[in-house]
Chains A and B, each alone.
Chain A
Amino acid sequence: MSIDLAQFHRTFFEECFEGIDLMERDLLRMGGGPGGETVNAVFRAAHSIKGGAATFGFAAIASFTHHMETLLDQMRSGTRAISDPAVDLLLRATDALRSLLAAARDGEPLDTARVAGAQAALEAFLGAADAPESTAVAVPAVEQAYLIRFVPAPDLFRSGNDPLLILRELATLGTLETRLDLDTAPAFAECDAESCHMAWSLRLLSSHSRAELQEVFAWVEGSCELDIRLESAAAPPAAVATTGPAVHAVAAPTPRPGEHTVGDGGSIRVGTDKIDALMNLVGELIITQAMLAQLAGALDPVLNEKLLAGLSQLDRNTRLLQEAVMSTRMLPIDSVFSRFPRLVRDLAAKLGKQVRLTTVGESTELDKSVIEKISDPLNHLVRNSLDHGIESPEARSAAGKDAVGTVTLKAAHQGDNILVEVCDDGRGLDRARILAKAREQGIACTDAMSDAEVWQLIFAPGFSTADRVTDVSGRGVGMDVVKKNIAALGGSVELHSSAGRGSRTVIRLPLTLAILDGMSVGVSGEIFILPLSAVIESLQPQAEQVKRVVHQGTVVRVRNEYLPLVDLRQWFGLSGKSRPLHEAIAVIVESEGRKLALQVDELVGQQQVVIKSLEANYRRIRGVSGATILGDGRVSLILDVGAIVRLFSQAQAA
């Protein structure tokens, strides 16, 4: 039978990379302390990779992992201490292993220097005493006659072995003559069907070596008397008495009928394209459902009672289906967080700082596509915290703080949003310095700006407060890119800071990129969708609440706060005349710490909308993040509140 092992390679690589991630995480956790279950887990991961690599024909990976396994085995058995050098070496080895695997998987050129370096370091550390096992090569031999005496112990069946199967195996090695010896058997009445009362005298004509013959009995070694000798050299064979029919105790009980259990679910791997297609279909279903709901609104509820009941059930099931499909795309954020211990460790060493990383809420689940895109921004924020936030141990001690700084990664659900935070207990943001730098770089700012507005300056393109460019962070292509990436995910970034106590960056992300909870508003007969997460409140302003301010347009006073008012009709250049303000509605929205009142004609309702990309179907429009199809089939634009707030303040500043 020939089976192509290549079909298992994909799974093998996936599980190897998972194993490496796990090893890396646990190695970082081990740092000096007693290993226990952690070192066992790392050992198991290395062991699995080695076993798989050998099975699937990746000899270089198997031999490399063998060294790691040996070192880990010594560490878990206690013959070698879990020391920092050993952990460092293993971390280095995981990097090399990763490139070995990537090379094997993608056919990329291998970073041979790194692999060879890591391997040499491992070998040197192990003291080169760990030579690979050699296998004996069988020498072809002439046919010889062996005499074999085989007396199984009475409990042989209890290990699941069967003497007949062993004899059958032996027969494949040559010409076998068997003679059953029942001398040792008790009287028939006393026979115990579960015990083996038989013995054999065998003569085998074979060209195989004695070691190969012994191999056949390997499983029953210790559970039998075995004597193998060459006939020529042998004493006359032990007297063989009666030759009787073979009595074979029937061992295996028959399986109970009617029991046919299927293996517990476990998991299957599915391509993301399939899930995306499913999600897309659910989106279409939601649109259809909304359409039906709208049509049903016009029906007589008494005459169409059954139809309406059916529709409300459809509504419920559509929602459940949507949630179920969405949940298949969800991954715990741990898959991103788990990369940071390594980064923080390496960076802290490079910067001469002492930093502790803590993570909270690792099990919080996020859409897979969000997870993939959140990694770079987080990376940037953590680097910033280490480089600019956390002070040197001396400075911290002088300020009466713990010499070891703390960086915390947090994730939590909040309604339909996910909050991801990067906090540090460093020196915090320096208001005066940020303002000075902003002026220097020609970014519009005033001393009267609130703290929140000053922090937003950091997100301006090209902004950097670092006095010198380090290779850790601060090349000036920083926070604006972070912000842009987060905005592309439909999220927002907020900064909080307290001088000398640290800073906190809060990233707010939608649960999924495909569906949005929206508020639909009517302007000039058009329907626009505002993301519900950006809406604070809506009100009908009284005449005395509205004021015209020179150079600032109209403002509306809401709870002692004057907010700029933007008329969406003018903004989008729609036809028709604006209603007088006291007949219109002001929807208060917030983005990046800034509030704005949007003037609309009416509030239509709240609904979930399926986001369709405008960019993919038309082109990018400033102030619009996407489009959706309404229940009646009309296309409605989804407003990008962040962009509107930004565009508005730019227009003001100009």
Chain B
Amino acid sequence: MSRILAVDDSSSMRQMVAFTLSSAGFDVVEAPDGAVALALAQKEKFGLVLADVNMPNMDGISLVRALRSLPEYKFTPLLMLTTESGPEKKQEGKAAGATGWLVKPFNPEQLLNTVKRVLG
């Protein structure tokens, strides 16, 4: 099973996401911002990318856009972790090529359900 890339500038959020997913048997790699995530994703093909929207050094939307333009990530699920409940960020993310989103705050269960949903 390919690995999951969790991108968030908040280390507590990253820890929570990584711990939840690895407890469920997924293999998770963490990145603190979009630029690091993009570099990692170019080295290894991840099966799913979970990205926070607001981050320094390349935000989540730019990350999604950059990933979607890579041939390896043409069909890969890319999820945004967003606190914006308004439609603008979601639409912006969709336009950049995001598969979907998970609205913060979410609990470990919601996270796991969403991840299982996209990974089938």
Q: What's the tally of chain B residues with a CB closer than 8 Å to chain A?
A: 52
B32 lies within 8 A of A160 (CB): no
Q: Which chain A residues border B74 with CB–CB below 8 Å? A: 158, 194, 253
Cα of A1 to Cα of B113 in the assembled complex, Å: 11
CB distance from A191 to the nearest CB of B (A): 16
* Residue among B11, B29, B68, B77 with the highest chain A CB neighbour number at 10 A: B11
A133: nearest residue on chain B (CB-CB)? Answer: B85
Q: Flag B94-117 by CB within 8 Å of A: 1 or 0 each.
A: 100111110011111100100001
Q: Which chain A residues border B44 with CB–CB below 8 Å? A: 255, 259-261
Q: Which of B23, B54, B97 sits near A48, CB closer than 8 Å?
A: B54
Cα of A165 to Cα of B120 in the assembled complex, Å: 6
Q: Which chain A residues border B100 with CB–CB below 8 Å? A: 161, 218-219
B20 within 8 A of A: yes
A3: nearest residue on chain B (CB-CB)? Answer: B108
B104 lies within 8 A of A55 (CB): yes
Q: What's the tally of chain A residues with a CB closer than 8 Å to chain B?
A: 50
Q: Which chain A residues border B78 with CB–CB below 8 Å? A: 160
CB distance from B106 to the nearest CB of A (A): 7
Cα of A62 to Cα of B105 in the assembled complex, Å: 10
Cα of A372 to Cα of B105 in the assembled complex, Å: 35
A346 within 8 A of B: no
Q: Flag A1-20 by CB within 8 Å of B: 1 or 0 each.
A: 11101011101100100000
A55 lies within 8 A of B106 (CB): yes
Q: Which of B31, B40, B43, B104 sits near A51, CB closer than 8 Å?
A: B104
A169: nearest residue on chain B (CB-CB)? Answer: B117
Q: Is the interface of A mostly helix, strand, loop or mixed?
A: helix
Q: Which of B32, B47, B120 sits near A164, CB closer than 8 Å?
A: B120
A653 within 8 A of B: no
Cα of A260 to Cα of B118 in the assembled complex, Å: 23
A508 within 8 A of B: no
User: Given A159-B98, A160-B78, A15–B39 Cβ distance below 8 Å?
Assistant: no
Q: Which chain B residues border A169 with CB–CB below 8 Å? A: 117
CB distance from B110 to the nearest CB of A (A): 10
Cα of A194 to Cα of B71 in the assembled complex, Å: 12
Offer 5 A-B interface pairs, CB within 8 angstroms, sorted by A: A44-B9, A158-B75, A161-B77, A161-B100, A266-B30
Interface set of B (CB-CB < 8 Å, partner A): 2, 9-13, 15-16, 19-20, 23-24, 29-32, 36, 39-40, 43-45, 47, 54-56, 68, 72, 74-78, 83, 85, 91, 94, 97-101, 104-109, 112, 117-118, 120
